[in-house]
Chains A and B, each alone.
Chain A
Amino acid sequence: MSEKHNIIQVWFFVGVLLLVYGFLIFASGLAEWSHPPNTVLAGLHAPVWWGGLLFVLGLIYCIKFSPNRKA
């Protein structure tokens, strides 16, 4: 993003956020698999696939925009 300042790109921080949240949500979805919460459509196990999606996106962003990666 910055030629003048050599700042870590904002997309890397986005990746870190998605990666951590994806992991936490995916893990909590797995933990509650056999006893889902009392919410509508709990049988769809949304935390598992939504958390998984966030984790994968976060991983892609972290790798693609890693501060150690050469442009």
Chain B
Amino acid sequence: MIAMMASTAPTTLVHLSAVDLGIIAFYFALVLGIGFYLKRFANTGEDFFLAGREMTAWVAGLAFVSANLGSLELLGWAGSAYQYGILAAHWYWIGAIPAMVFLGIVMMPFYYISKTHSVPGYLQLRYGSATSALSAVTFAIMTILMSGVNMYAMAVVMKVVLGWNINFSIWVSSLTVGIYVAAGGLFSAIFNEVLQFFLIWFGALLIPILGLIETGGWKGMVARIQQNFPGQDYTHAWSTLGRFQDNPMGMHWTGIVFGLGAVQAMGYWTTDFLVVQRVLSAKDIRSAKMAPIIGSFFKMAVPLIVILPGLLGLAVLPMHLVPASSLQPGQYSYNEVLPLMLARYCGPGLLGLGITALVAGFMAGMAGNVSAFATVWTYDIYRPFLRKTAPDQHYVSMGRWCTLIGLIVSIGTAYLAMGFASIMDYVQALFGFFIAPLFGTVLLGMLWKRVSRAAGFLGLLSGTLSSVGMFTLMKLDHRWVSVFALSPKAQGLAQDMYQALWSCVTCVVVTVLVTLVTKPRPDEELRGLVYSLTEVAHEEHTNFLQRPLFWGIVALAALLVLQIIFW
């Protein structure tokens, strides 16, 4: 097996010792062992798809953050930090924290009280089958595509970093994830996500610690960056956002505040079922409200292990990294900054821990995708449209099978991605098509009882189509970038933010207009689904230290302090 792993890569970033391989092997054995142990507890639909709805706030909160910490998160954002500097941290701060607090305080009660299994399930109750089906089908397709693309990305990293055979990485990691998720369902996915959370932190935290020791602290790091890249500002989060041309991202503060903070982040963290499913597993409504708020504190700290290593790379690496698209032999791409830093500081043992953290990150993302796919397929496509009445056990079997089938399709997607280098960028953009308008549809549905079924469907459809239209126009003719993203200097991420903003605006405008000319649903059909018709338990008699609202305010205050420090 080791010979197969090593295969024929001519040059690799790091070489693993026996102790490193032992650490990696133990990780695989443990996650599989946990999967088989939990299989006996995943017997009913609620057990398999919602982990029995008995997770504590801490477990659900850590799984909530960990499901997002996988995939390309670690390597991709460390690379973005090398490329754009501390601007990349906005995706962890304003691009996450307000949305997580909003999910916990405002939206979670509706998801939880309605006892839905999924976000499309909520849409089914609020708007009916058409809106739910549109959301479920697009989500299922995109989830599988993302899973495959992430799988391929992981295999490429393992090849570049360790020289492992791409096929070996794809099959071993996906089979492992497939076995433990099919066995224990969401129980298994959540347990392993919590495990992966610790692994990622302990595997990656040494890099910033040793990096700051080497540079002599934050000030020493900034001085070295200025020396290596004179005239460029990589360490201020807001002061360079006054004009598009003043920062390497081609971003304006309006894009960050409105496009990222108000739309893209709200859409992702409150309506993407991949993450919301973890919170739905909470044991009671207070835990469901606390879980995303607990998660927000950890999310706020993730730049320490992702963004700071990228900045340290600017300071200490002897070579300049380049974009993957213009990579020449002997050069390294932005996305390799984290493995390069790992190789710089970590010898045998620590290297194995760091590599296992990367593998764990990828597997957490993959498990998140397949468990969410299995739920949406079974409950929002298969049950309402293909087999309405069947014993609960039948749906559990369907969930198990579709976990495996989803993984096999993902493997196919991974090989497809291999043939088209740029498909990864496109699929990520595609995923964004559905999230921003979905946020408009869900939020209006929760807050305004007047919104009709037709308005919800047409709003979501028009928002999605407008997003696809803007993306296509900007790719076909760069002049459209000035129109939609407000400046010809707007780079990919900036374009995405404005595309999200306008698609959500389109969705909201169409929903409101159609609502005004269509008949609303009777109040009695909307109880438990809309703010004005739902009795949410108040917590006046609870100690303030146990109130989600108090901790939500603390999280927002901490976010504000961070913005001032890194202004």
Interface residues of A (CB under 8 A from B): 1-5, 7-8, 10, 13-14, 16-18, 20-21, 24-25, 27-29, 32, 36-42, 44, 46-47, 50-51, 54
Contact = CB atoms under 8 A, between A and B. Distances in A.
Interface string B80-117: 00000000000000000000000000000000000000
Nearest to B42: A5
A1 B59 contact: yes
What is the interface of chain A mostly: helix, strand, loop, or mixed?
Answer: helix
A17 B349 contact: no
Contacts of B213: 41, 44
A5 B54 contact: yes
What is the interface of chain B mostly: helix, strand, loop, or mixed?
Answer: helix
Contacts, number: 99
B155 to A, nearest CB: 24
A41 B22 CA distance: 24
B344 A2 contact: no
8 contacts: A14-B198, A18-B198, A28-B17, A32-B347, A39-B345, A40-B210, A40-B344, A40-B345
Interface in B227-244: none
A7 B26 CA distance: 22
Which 6 pairs of residues, A with B, have the shortest CB-CB distance?
Answer: A37-B347, A28-B349, A25-B349, A28-B19, A5-B41, A47-B349
A5 B51 CA distance: 10
B345 A46 contact: yes
Nearest to B360: A17
B195 A47 contact: no
B52 interface: yes
Given A2-B54, A21-B353, A8 B194 contact: no
Contact of A17 (B56, B198, B316): B198
Contact of B30 (A17, A29, A38): A17
A5 B55 CA distance: 11
Contacts of A17: 26-27, 30, 195, 198-199
A20 B59 contact: no
A56 to B, nearest CB: 12
Nearest to B17: A28
